[in-house]
Amino acid sequence: MTPLQTKRVLLVHPLGYRAAQAGSDISRLASIMPPLGLASIAAYLEQQGIAADLLDCYAHPDSDRRFQDYLLATRPAFLALSCTTSSFNDGLRMTRMAKTLLPGIQVVFGGPHVSALKQRVLKDHPEIDFTVVGEGEETMAELVASDGQEPSRVPGLVYREGDGQVMFNGYRAQGIVLDSLPFPAYEKLQGFPHSYQLPIFNYPKAPNTSCISSRGCPYACSYCDRSVFQRTFRYNSAEYLYEHLRYLKERFGIRHINFYDDQFTFNRQRVEDFTGMMMDRPLGMTYNCAARAEHIDPELLRSMKASGCWMMSLGIESGDEALLAQHRQNPNLQLLSQKLHEIKAAGIRTKGLLMMGLPGESEQSIERSMDFVLSQPIDDFNLAKFTPFPGSPIYENAHELGSFDENWERMDCMNFLFIPHGMTEERLEELFIRFYKTHFMRPSVLLGYVSMLWKSPHSWMRFVKNLWAFMMFARSNKRHGKG
**Tens of pLDDT along 119-154?**
999 999 999 999 999 999 999 999 999 999 999 999
Instruction: Name every residue whose Cβ is closer than 8 Å to that of residue 33 and which is 6 or more positions away in sequence.
Output: 196, 198, 210, 260
Is the pTM higher than 0.75? The answer reads yes
pLDDT at position 146, please?
Answer: 94
Measure the CA–CA gap between 202 and 188, rounded to whole angstroms. Answer: 25
pLDDT of residue 220: 73
Q: CB-based contacts of 426: which residues, under 8 Å, 6+ apart?
A: 481
Mean pLDDT, all residues of the chain: 91
Mention every residue, 6+ apart, whose C-beta is less than 8 A from residue 101: 68, 71, 72
Is beta strand 286-291 parallel, antiparallel or unpaired with respect to 214-216? unpaired
What is the spatial distance between Cα 32 and Cα 151, in angstroms, rounded to a whole number?
35
pLDDT above 50 (res 482) = no
* Residues 198-479, CATH architecture: Alpha-Beta Horseshoe (3.80)
Provide the CATH number for the domain formed by 5-168 in this structure: 3.40.50.280
Mean pLDDT on 312-331: 90
Residue 137's pLDDT is: 96
By C-alpha distance, which of 76, 101, 72 is closest to 12?
A: 76
User: Residue 229 above 70 pLDDT?
Assistant: no
Asked whether the beta carbons of 392 and 112 are under 8 A apart, the reply is no
pLDDT at 483: 37
Alpha-carbon distance of 372 to 393, in angstroms, equals: 27
**Domain boundaries of the chain, sorted by first residue:** 5-168, 198-479
Torsional sign, CA 243, 246, 250, 252: positive
CA dihedral defined by 136, 140, 143, 148, rounded to 10 degrees?
A: 110
Residues 277-298 have pLDDT tens digits of 999 999 999 999 999 999 999 9
User: What span, in angstroms and rounded, lies between the C-alpha atoms of 224 and 358?
Assistant: 12
CA distance 45 to 397: 39
C-alpha 239/C-alpha 98 separation (Å) is 42
